[in-house]
Structure 1
Amino acid sequence: MSLRKLHTPQAFQRPEGFTWDTAPEALSEWTERPLAAEADDPNTISIYGVIGEDIWSGEGFTAKRMAGALRSIGKNAVTVNINSPGGDMFEGMAIYNLLREHKAAVTVKVIGIAASAASIIAMAGDTVQMGTGSVMMIHNGWGMVVGNRHDFTDATDVFETFDSSMAAVYAERTGLTPKAVMAMMDGPARSSDGTYMTAAEAIEKRFADSTFEPSAATAQASSPFPADILARRRTNVALAKAGMGRKERYETLSVIAGLHGAGADESASELTASMLELARAMRS
Structure 2
Amino acid sequence: MTAIVDGNIVRLMGAVLSSEDSYQGLEGFSAADVVFALAAIPDNEGITVHLNSGGGIASEGAAIHALLRARRGRTDVVIEGIAASAASLIAMAGQKVTMSAGAVMMIHDPSGFTFGNSADHTKTIDALEALATAYARVYAEKSRKSASECRTIMKEERWFSPQEAVAAGFADAALDSGKITASAFDYRRFKHAPQHLMALATAKNWTLPKSREERKETHMTTPEKGAADAAKKAAADRLKAILRADEAVGRKDLAEHLAYDTDIEADAAINIMAKAAAKIEGDVEEEQEFRPRRANAGADGSGAPRMNAQGLNGTPLNHNPGKRDRGGTNLVANMKRRHGIKE
TM-score > 0.5 by shorter chain: yes
Distance 1:156 1:109, change over 3 A: same
* Contact map agreement 2:5 2:11 (CA 8 A) in 1: no
**3-state secondary structure, aligned to 1:145:** coil
Q: Which runs of 5 or more structure 2 residues have no equivalent in the other structure?
A: 185-199, 219-343
* Contact map agreement 2:34 2:64 (CA 8 A) in 1: yes
The equivalent position to 1:163 in structure 2, one of 99, 123, 132, is 132
Aligned residues: 194
Q: More displaced, 54-63 or 157-166?
A: 54-63
Could you tell me how far 1:130 is from its partner in structure 2? Answer: 0.4
**3-state secondary structure, aligned to 1:144:** coil
User: What amino acid sits opposite 2:160 in the alignment?
Assistant: M
Map of 2:205 onto structure 1: 235
The equivalent position to 2:30 in structure 1, one of 62, 70, 74, is 62
State the alpha-carbon separation in 1 of the partners of residues 27 and 5 from structure 2. Answer: 21
Map of 1:93 onto structure 2: 62
Map of 1:116 onto structure 2: 85
State the alpha-carbon separation in 2 of the partners of residues 41 and 232 from structure 1. Answer: 32
The share of aligned pairs that are identical, in percent, is 36
**3-state secondary structure, aligned to 1:141:** coil
Map of 1:182 onto structure 2: 151
Q: Give the structure with higher Rg (CA).
A: 2
Could you tell me how far 1:212 is from its partner in structure 2? Answer: 3.2
| Cα RMSD after superposing both structures | 3.2
Distance 1:178 1:71, change over 3 A: same
Could you tell me how far 1:232 is from its partner in structure 2? Answer: 8.1
State the alpha-carbon separation in 1 of the partners of residues 36 and 208 from structure 2. Answer: 34
The question of 1:139 aligning with 2:108 is answered: yes
Could you tell me how far 1:246 is from its partner in structure 2? Answer: 7.4
Distance 1:45 1:115, change over 3 A: same
If the length of structure 2 is used for normalisation, what is the TM-score?
0.51
If the length of structure 1 is used for normalisation, what is the TM-score?
0.61
Distance 1:154 1:38, change over 3 A: closer
State the alpha-carbon separation in 2 of the partners of residues 169 and 102 from structure 1. Answer: 16
Distance 1:247 1:196, change over 3 A: farther
State the alpha-carbon separation in 2 of the partners of residues 231 and 247 from structure 1. Answer: 25
Q: Deviations over 1:150-172 (max 9, x none)?
A: 01011111111111110010011
User: What amino acid sits opposite 1:51 in the alignment?
Assistant: V
Could you tell me how far 1:234 is from its partner in structure 2? Answer: 3.4
Distance 1:160 1:41, change over 3 A: same
Could you tell me how far 1:213 is from its partner in structure 2? Answer: 5.8
Could you tell me how far 1:248 is from its partner in structure 2? Answer: 10
The question of 1:202 aligning with 2:195 is answered: no
State the alpha-carbon separation in 1 of the partners of residues 135 and 29 from structure 2. Answer: 19
- Runs of 4+ in structure 1 off by over 4 angstroms are 37-40, 230-233, 237-240, 245-249
* Contact map agreement 2:76 2:94 (CA 8 A) in 1: yes
